Chain A
Amino acid sequence: MVVGPEAEVEVVVLALPPRPEVVSVARLVVGALAAADPSFDDERGADLRLAVSEACTNAIQAQLGRPAGPSHDAPIELRFEVGPGCIELAVSDHGGGFDPDRLESHPAVTDPARLEYEGGLGIPLIRLLADELEFRAADGGTTVVMTFGPRVSTGRVVS
Chain B
Amino acid sequence: MDLRLELSEQGGWSVLLVGGEVDVATAPRLREQLIKLVNDQRFQIVVDLGGVDFIDSTGLGVLIGALKRVRTQGGELALVCTERRILKVFEITGLDRVFRIGGTVEEAMAG
Contact = CB atoms under 8 A, between A and B. Distances in A.
A binds B: yes
A43 B83 CA distance: 12
A110 B97 contact: yes
Contacts, number: 81
Interface of B: 1, 21, 23-25, 54, 56-58, 60-62, 64-65, 67-68, 71, 85, 88-89, 91-95, 97-98
B1 A110 contact: no
Interface residues of A, number: 31
Given A49-B54, A54-B56, A118-B65, A125 B24 contact: no
20 contacts: A20-B25, A23-B25, A24-B21, A46-B88, A50-B89, A53-B23, A53-B24, A57-B23, A57-B57, A61-B24, A109-B95, A110-B97, A114-B64, A115-B68, A119-B61, A121-B57, A121-B61, A125-B56, A125-B92, A157-B91
A21 interface: yes
A47 B44 CA distance: 32
A88 B15 CA distance: 41
